[in-house]
Structure 1
Amino acid sequence: MLDQNNHQGKFGADYVRVLASAAGLIWSQDDVDLDAVDLCLKMPGRTMRGFSPRIDVQVKTVRKLDVGDGLINYSRLSHDQFNKLAGTDFTVPRYLFVVHVPPNTAQYADLSTYGLLLRHIGYYVSLSDRQPLSTSDPGRHIRVKIPLSNVLTVPSLRALVTGNVVFPVG
């Protein structure tokens, strides 16, 4: 059986995979994580944005959300991970996904006659408006603010991949 931290991380990535499948997207994963990309999500076929648009995502999980003023304060992104997500010099758009999970792994999923329930909820943010940090500090963690309105859903995931998402101002 997985230890709690690995179990939590795997569940977070699987949560995103399930949403991607529900959205009709294809997901893939590099065989080695060198670029702070956990999953690649792609819409197959021709779209308004071109042929098979895709996004790259870094998936993080938290047991307890730090929320204030309508924002999630996520402060566990390493300096290196931040630099690999921040800025605009990417061919493929990149996003940070933060999945809020229950503190007890036994509560991750529940099955009833109504269907399968995955707990709790995922959020997304683009760091394209932030500049990478110039000095390297491996021990430093960067605080990222994620609007509570940036919920990962089937429609929002499709909008991220097709480039039709509208980001809140502020």
Structure 2
Amino acid sequence: MLDVHNHQGKFGQDYLRALASAAGLIVFSYDLDRVGIDLGFRSPGRAGGFTAPAIEVQVKSWSKPLPVHGEWHFDGLTEQQFNWLAGPDYTIPRYLFLVSLPPERAEYAQFEPGAMTLRYLAYFLSLEGEEPVADPDPARRREVTVPLGNVLTIKSLLRLLDSTLVGAG
């Protein structure tokens, strides 16, 4: 069995793969993680005159979230990880996907007649408008705030892909 940390991270990515599958998207990953991207999501068709719009994401999962004033205060990014998402210079838009899950792994999935529920929710955040940290230290943390309204659903995931077309062309 996986240790707690790896199990939590794997479940977070698998949760997102299930959501993307339900949305009819292609999920991709790179053979080597050198730029802080865990997964990519691509539309298999054309949208707005463009073929196969995509986004790239860094996935973080946590089991002890506490909302403060309508936001999650997440301090699980190092300054280097923050920089891999911050700023407007990426050809493929990048997001932080934050998966909130129960502290007990036996509660990750709940079963009832005719249904399986994956617990709890995922959230998204763009750091495009943030300035990268000058001289980032991979040991220092950079807190980000994620609005509770940024719930990742089929509709919001598709909207993030549609936003890749804004301003293109």
8 Å contact from structure 1 (residues 49, 162) kept in 2: no
Specify the alignment match of 1:121 in structure 2.
121
| Aligned match of 2:167 | none
Deviations 1:62-103 (A, max 9, x none): 101131111110011011100000000000000000000100
* Cα deviation, residue 156, structure 1: 0.4
Alignment check: 8 A CA contact 1:57 1:94 kept:
yes
Aligned residue type for 1:98: L
Determine helix, strand or coil for the equivalent of 1:110. strand
Verify the 8 A CA contact 1:66 1:74 in the aligned structure 2: no
Instruction: Look up the equivalent residue of 1:23 and give its one-letter code.
Output: A
Secondary structure at 2:90 match in 1: coil
Matches of 1:17 and 1:138 in 2, distance apart? Answer: 28
Percentage of matched positions with identical amino acids: 46
Match of 1:10 in 2: 10
Give the equivalent residue in structure 1 for 2:78. 78
User: Match of 1:168?
Assistant: none
In the alignment, is residue 28 of structure 1 matched against residue 28 of structure 2?
A: yes
User: Does the CA-based 8 Å contact 1:47-1:53 persist in structure 2?
Assistant: yes
The answer to which of 133-142 and 79-88 deviates more is 133-142
Q: Does 1:155 align with 2:149?
A: no
The structure-2 alpha-carbon separation of the partners of 1:87 and 1:49, relative to structure 1 and needing over 3 Å to count, comes to farther
Q: How does 1:104-119 map to 2 (within 5 A)?
A: 104-119=104-119
Shift of 1:49: 6.0
- The Cα shift of 1:162 comes to 1.5
User: Which residue identity does 2:133 align to in structure 1?
Assistant: L
SS at match of 1:159: helix
Cα deviation for residue 147 of structure 1 reads 0.4
CA RMSD in angstroms, aligned pairs only: 1.3
Segments of structure 2 that go 5 or more residues without pairing to the other structure are: 165-169
Q: Following superposition, which runs of at least 4 residues in structure 1 exceed 3 angstroms of deviation?
A: none
